[in-house]
Structure 1
Amino acid sequence: MGRPRPRGRVLTGPATWRPRHLTAIAMRFNEETMSPADQQPAPQPAPPPAPGPPAEGELITAVADTLVLAYGVHPAAITRIPQGTATDNFAVLDQDGQRHFAKVYRTRDHLDRERASVELSEYCARAGVATARATRTREHELLATHGRLAMSLWAYVPHTATAEGGLTRARWAAAGTAMGRLHMRLSTHPAAAPHQEPGTAVCDVAASRHRFERLIRAYEHKSWLTEFETWALQAAREREAILGNVEYTLASLPRLTVQVLHGDMAGPNVLFQHHEVAAMVDFRPPAPGYLAWDIARLSCDPQSVLETSAENWITGYTELTLAYRDTNPKASTDDLLFSLRVGCTAMLCSAFPLSVPVERPHLVDTAMETYGRVRHEAALLLLDRLPAFEKALRDALR
């Protein structure tokens, strides 16, 4: 689930480009307005960014050139947003006072996938689903690819907070309504028709056990461990020890719905204006997956699980599922009822982010370490309270 990111930061200084004749503009831009896929922790190891990126001034100049030539957008200010692992991201203020988000792809190796992700977002938007809207180029393309840079441009989505750690009060029901509308639209996508598959296939416990064993050996062979690595080693041993319980929990799952999904339904990718969902962002290319996992991915946000009482959290969870069912009445009750079990087992089977210091050490920072501890604690709490939580959910869905 999504990694915590700083909010509401004023970005100025050398990372900001402005035409010379303009005075300095202090532009407040929340980097979570768009949440590029590359900023999300990937479930599989990813290589570090390629060495030798363009100089900062050169890159921003290239962004300005692309905006003008590909989009006809004349920038008044371009502000660098803290980068992800595979793109460079910029807030743009144009000379008409409009705000945009520019996502620059560092390589052209996966542009077909990037284009498919944008197309999926647009497919949902055409049915009234709340999403960020992509700006097409002068040639009506979703990506600008003919110039020095490969880039997508998005409309600014004003919001006050993401769902990460912020699913409280009326937001639970609003998130359920938005997700129900999203899934109803995605069920019509031509890439895959909704169908039923065994719920036991949500996680490959044998593969997870093997991965935890390898991770534990990697830590044990290190000559020296940081404080976080010492904790991660202990957590990995604890997770490996309870995989038998996870396997038992999975065995009781019925057949569940598999259909095209958002692909990264994490808290940072759901943007709220007050208590309403303003946009769901950061789609992945259309691919089938368990609908129950999409529900749990958002609803079992670790910060939301831990930052309120268990009773308040499960009350919110039931409100989300009830609102979801009202909006998407064709959804199977089993997908809603067993979403908690799916979310809990998927979190426990995942070695992320315990594996980050070994597999992607360049991503280790204070926020990542904090998220690792929170996610581990939340997953264990869900497993411990799962029978009581599922009873409350079953009673609400009758």
Structure 2
Amino acid sequence: MSTPSQQPAPHSVAAPSTPGRTAEGDQIMAIADTLVLAYGLHPAETTRIPEGTATVNYAVVAQAGRRHFAKVYRTREHLDPERTSVELSEYCADGGVATARATRTRKHELIATHGRLPMSLWSYVPHTATAEGGLRGARWAAAGTGMGRLHARLAAHPAVAPTPEPGAAVCDVAASRDRFERLIHAYEHRPRLGEFEAWALQAARERQAILGDVERTLASLPQLTVQILHGDTAGPDVLFKDNEVAAIVDFRPPAPGYLAWEIARLGCDPKSVLDNSAESRLTGYTDLTLACRDANPKASADDLASSLRVGRAAMLCSAFPLSVPVGRSHIVDAAMEAYGRVRHEAALMLLDRLPVIEEALRDALH
């Protein structure tokens, strides 16, 4: 995920010398070429930001002193959906949603494709912190306001009109059960397991054992709203300046999904769930939901009241990142392992505390 406010890595490159220059130096030079060719922008300093999966991200300071955020795409194969993601961000910005603005090329393109590197250039959102682990106090309500405004704008997107769909279809429990069985089998047949792999195996067994409860939870859900969503409102993609949402960034291509899940995706940010006391979690999630309703009056009470139930089910059904050492071991690092443990612990905590939180939430909404 790319977050324009992330602090740059401690090293930066302005213009590496040609003899023996590094791969990073070559990348910096290619970025500079594209900035000049496509945007008419001459960089004074370009700094790698240690975030990003689909993109490699850089903070750019132009010679005139203005700061920018550059997203360099790893491949040219999927630029069409990437372009629709940028268009969705622009659509929301045009509707008054707080988000970063894309800078168009000299040819008025959202993604530069004619230079050495395909890339998009964005306004830089300074002095911000992500919502990951940071939902506390007044930020709960601010996050709800930002989310409500976002969803109100996306409800008017011409691609899909909001429609009611069975809540039980939020997750495919049968597919999740098969996924966990395959994952457990893969771990059990390895000659040896590292510390994280052994933990992931135990966590997968715990998840598999409670899928019956998840299935009953899903069966109890009412009709819920499906509409165009941001697509990835995790904590790192919501930027705060003090206690206000400065920008919601890193949109996915426009696609319909359950409104309740996107609310829970942010409200149940694992680090925030674990870093708050039980009382703070209860008050905070209620504040978020009420603020979301105030900013998006058309949101149904069922979407808001069921969001915790939906979020818990989705978290428990997901094998990520427990499955990463099996399918994508090359991306396993300390941060991924820590996130896996936190996400699992938060999902189990929500399982235990759901009745209390949900009862208080329904009382506040009615």
Bin the TM-score by the shorter chain.
over 0.9
The 1:362/1:117 distance shift into structure 2, 3 A limit, reads same
Out of 119, 124, 131, the position equivalent to 1:163 is 131
- SS of alignment partner, residue 115 of structure 2: coil
**2:13 match:** 16
Out of 65, 81, 90, the position equivalent to 1:97 is 65
State the 1:148 CA deviation: 1.6
Q: How far apart in 2 are the matches of 1:76 and 1:328?
A: 43
State the 1:266 CA deviation: 0.4
- SS of alignment partner, residue 279 of structure 1: strand
The 1:134/1:336 distance shift into structure 2, 3 A limit, reads same
- Check if 1:321 corresponds to 2:289: yes
- Check if 1:131 corresponds to 2:128: no
State the 1:132 CA deviation: 0.5
In structure 1, what residue type is equivalent to 2:203?
Answer: A
State the 1:107 CA deviation: 1.1
- Check if 1:267 corresponds to 2:235: yes
State the 1:157 CA deviation: 0.4
**1:46 match:** none
**1:50 match:** none
State the 1:212 CA deviation: 0.1
- SS of alignment partner, residue 345 of structure 1: helix
Number of equivalenced pairs: 361
**1:114 match:** 82
- Check if 1:233 corresponds to 2:201: yes
- SS of alignment partner, residue 193 of structure 1: coil
Q: How far apart in 2 are the matches of 1:320 and 1:70?
A: 41
In structure 2, what residue type is equivalent to 1:339?
Answer: S
The 1:267/1:359 distance shift into structure 2, 3 A limit, reads same
**2:225 match:** 257
| Equivalences for residues 1-398 of structure 1 within 5 A | 8=7, 10-12=9-11, 16-18=13-15, 55-82=23-50, 84-398=52-366
- SS of alignment partner, residue 239 of structure 1: helix
In structure 1, what residue type is equivalent to 2:37?
Answer: L
Structure 1, residues 81-111: CA drift from partner, whole Å, max 9, x if none? Answer: 2253332221110011111111111211100
Q: How far apart in 1 are the matches of 2:92 and 2:286?
A: 25
Structure 1, residues 307-366: CA drift from partner, whole Å, max 9, x if none? Answer: 111111110000011111111111100000000000000000000010011111111111
In structure 2, what residue type is equivalent to 1:267?
Answer: G
**Maintained 8 Å contact 1:187/1:194:** yes
Is the helix fraction higher in 1 or 2?
2
Identity over aligned pairs, percent: 74
State the 1:55 CA deviation: 2.6
When normalised by structure 1's length, the TM-score is 0.88
**1:43 match:** none
**Maintained 8 Å contact 1:3/1:371:** no
In structure 1, what residue type is equivalent to 2:196?
Answer: F
Q: How far apart in 1 are the matches of 2:54 and 2:159?
A: 26
Q: How far apart in 2 are the matches of 1:162 and 1:140?
A: 30
State the 1:19 CA deviation: 8.0
Structure 1, residues 130-171: CA drift from partner, whole Å, max 9, x if none? Answer: 001100000111000112211100111013311101011111
- SS of alignment partner, residue 78 of structure 1: strand
Q: How far apart in 1 are the matches of 2:111 and 2:146?
A: 27
The 1:83/1:161 distance shift into structure 2, 3 A limit, reads closer
In structure 1, what residue type is equivalent to 2:351?
Answer: L
Q: Which 10-residue stretch deviates more, 260-269 or 151-160?
A: 151-160
The 1:144/1:3 distance shift into structure 2, 3 A limit, reads closer
**Maintained 8 Å contact 1:159/1:278:** no
**Maintained 8 Å contact 2:2/2:250:** no
Q: How far apart in 2 are the matches of 1:66 and 1:240?
A: 49
- SS of alignment partner, residue 16 of structure 1: coil
Structure 1, residues 10-62: CA drift from partner, whole Å, max 9, x if none? Answer: 521xx512488xxxxxxxxxxxxxxxxxxxxxxxxxxxxxxxxx932222111
In structure 1, what residue type is equivalent to 2:333?
Answer: D
Gap regions ≥5 residues in structure 2: none
Q: How far apart in 2 are the matches of 1:138 and 1:3?
A: 24
Q: How far apart in 2 are the matches of 1:166 and 1:191?
A: 33
In structure 1, what residue type is equivalent to 2:13?
Answer: T
In structure 2, what residue type is equivalent to 1:247?
Answer: E
The 1:284/1:86 distance shift into structure 2, 3 A limit, reads closer
**Maintained 8 Å contact 1:165/1:301:** yes
The 1:298/1:346 distance shift into structure 2, 3 A limit, reads same
**Maintained 8 Å contact 1:11/1:81:** no
Gap regions ≥5 residues in structure 1: 21-53
The 1:3/1:218 distance shift into structure 2, 3 A limit, reads farther
Q: How far apart in 2 are the matches of 1:336 and 1:128?
A: 22
Q: How far apart in 2 are the matches of 1:220 and 1:82?
A: 34
Q: Over aligned residues, Cα RMSD in angstroms?
A: 1.7
Q: Which 10-residue stretch deviates more, 153-162 or 63-72?
A: 153-162
Q: Which 10-residue stretch deviates more, 207-216 or 375-384?
A: 375-384
